[in-house]
Structure 1
Amino acid sequence: MIPFLDLKAQYATIGHDIEAAALRVLRSGRFVLGDEVATLEDNFAAYCGTRHAIAVNTGTSALHLALLAAGVKRGDEVITTPFTFIATAAAIRYIGARPVFVDIDPATFNIDPGRIEEAITPRTRAIVPVHLYGQMADMDAILAIAEKHGLAVIEDACQAHGAEYKGHRAGSMGISGCFSFYPGKNLGACGEGGMVVTNSDDHAKQIRMLRDWGQDRRYHHIVEGYNYRMDAIQGAILAVKLAQLENWIEARRTRARLYGQLLTGPTVDAPREAAGRRHVWHVFAVRTRDREQLQKMLAREGVETGLHYPVPVHLQPAFADLGYDVGSFPTAEAAADSVLSLPLYPELELSSVEKICDLIVQDAYVD
């Protein structure tokens, strides 16, 4: 069996350090925020090349607070992509704002900047590009549009820890960037976690208050806030893992290159790293004409696969009230119908990548 993801394999390499970090927190008696989380914030800000990093309990919370800090209010519109995990749009709705979707670039799966301006209205307040699968969106074009129209850019970098665009780290180019530390992410907690990074002192101050009941000091509540604080154990564990992140990224990139070299033939179209980008390969999603058949064949051979994502957000029943129909975003819908995610994680044996590619290439020539 080749699993789609093997968190036990990662734990085996750093388990002693993780256990020591968790035990240190347990012995300290400080279980929420505190020095462990502050250390993670300092290290993650330095890693991303930003002035501030504010730890929260989930990536969704990070998006929610970043939108609030940017001044998005009920009735406003926020432009984003329909081809993403539902949390991107859900965070917009938490505020009472409306997600306005724009179709994607078929080569990168990210929002197509050439379609953004036609979606802008007098109610538009922000653009949320999603750096899907670990590759950054076309930030130069997006930032130019935002500047022209006076809009905030909030990067959904929940799948893109360490990704780069022309030398700039994910999260560092917009007014803020948001990360998830869900266990399966390239940098994953042993539970839930998230982070907002920003170069704005004002935004950082506001987000720190918002995550902790809106207080600037204990029992002094300046704004209406939330309980979005990070647990100290997660902060300590993530600090251990952050020190390994670059090694893990390079291991992912090695395996992605091997996939790209070996996946030849008519069965699949392998993803590619765009010029000027550093793809960190959170997901290696191929396109295939007959996904069900390919997925079943790989399952019979003991290879687990995933679907990211089979239904675009605009066609989810939870968002039916937005009024979008089938055909509203044909490129995103075509991607949703054809993508299949193959196993990719740092500990995946190169021989397993070769086996998967052999199975796919051979299957292309079976009548």
Structure 2
Amino acid sequence: MQRFSDYQRNGCIRWKKFFSVSGRGMSDGNCSELLKMSVCLSLCHNVAVHIMLLYDTESDLFSYVFSLTSQILHSIFFLGEINNPRYTPKHIVSDDEMLKALRDHYPGPFKRCSSQLPKRSPFSCVLDMIVLLTGQQNENQIINRLRQLIKKLGASNDLVSSTVCVSQKEAAEDSVRYYGVSMSTSCRYPGRIIVAACCLSTWDSYVADAVMSYYPSKKKKKSYFDGTIRLPEQVRCQGFSLRRVKQMDPCRSCGNAFGLTTGEKQVWPYGHCAEAESLSNLLKNEKEIRELVQQTSHLSTDENRQKAKNSVMKELRHYLRMVEFKWDSEFYIPRGAAEDQERS
């Protein structure tokens, strides 16, 4: 097998060559879903390669970025599987040499993209890479890097996020920042599938409860469960557009679900906004803030919560049947870099 250090360096070069061909015409607004997936994957992989070159292959940070890259590959391959027409990894990665290198070093996504669900969208993993590369404290740099990446991908590429959110336990300069991006799967079924997967496998339970209170409805809360939350007043939760240079107020959905103050009337599908992932990351890491979160409804009981989870699972399986995806009931979890390569 090709040494990983050689793969890192040569892989980046091959992707640049691939992107120079595949990226043509991305700005015309008429690119196909296949081209979107191919170009998105090429640039995301280049970000990963750039970061991995900074670390020793035995380090924890290298393994972390390897895991993120594996998740990106799996997530995009999964979206190809449920697309109509269906796109295999071979369709998405048309360069045979690059395809072999990816399969050698990341066998998991190739083996499991047709049977397991991603735990989040591909651009969510890219966000984590950018934060690692830049440092969580450098908020403006992170947002600008995301904007630059989206500009390269093209405004017509709906596989990338449109907003990013930054949450802190308090609005102080030295307070740790936690980031999240909006769902980078705008089509009906992919978006609902990924939101359900996040509720069932990824997000903090408070955030998941708030989203499940409505999911899949945009307007009507469940009659038997209300897991909407109220955050402590000192929490900062600020959204930013990634397509324009401006701040974003929370939409009405985020106001309803998370108790965020807003004058907005626009209702977006619950769980699609960047606030969900950002607040989830905050609550997972700031224990004292999590203890202050309130669920005020008498309907937020364990029994009702399980009923809501069962409802989300039922909807998820329905959407998977609609896209003819045979799920093995597992969510994709990457193995470590060494273990994954040994099993290839």
User: TM-score under structure 1 normalisation?
Assistant: 0.26
Name the structure with the higher helix share: 2
Q: TM-score, normalised by structure 2?
A: 0.27
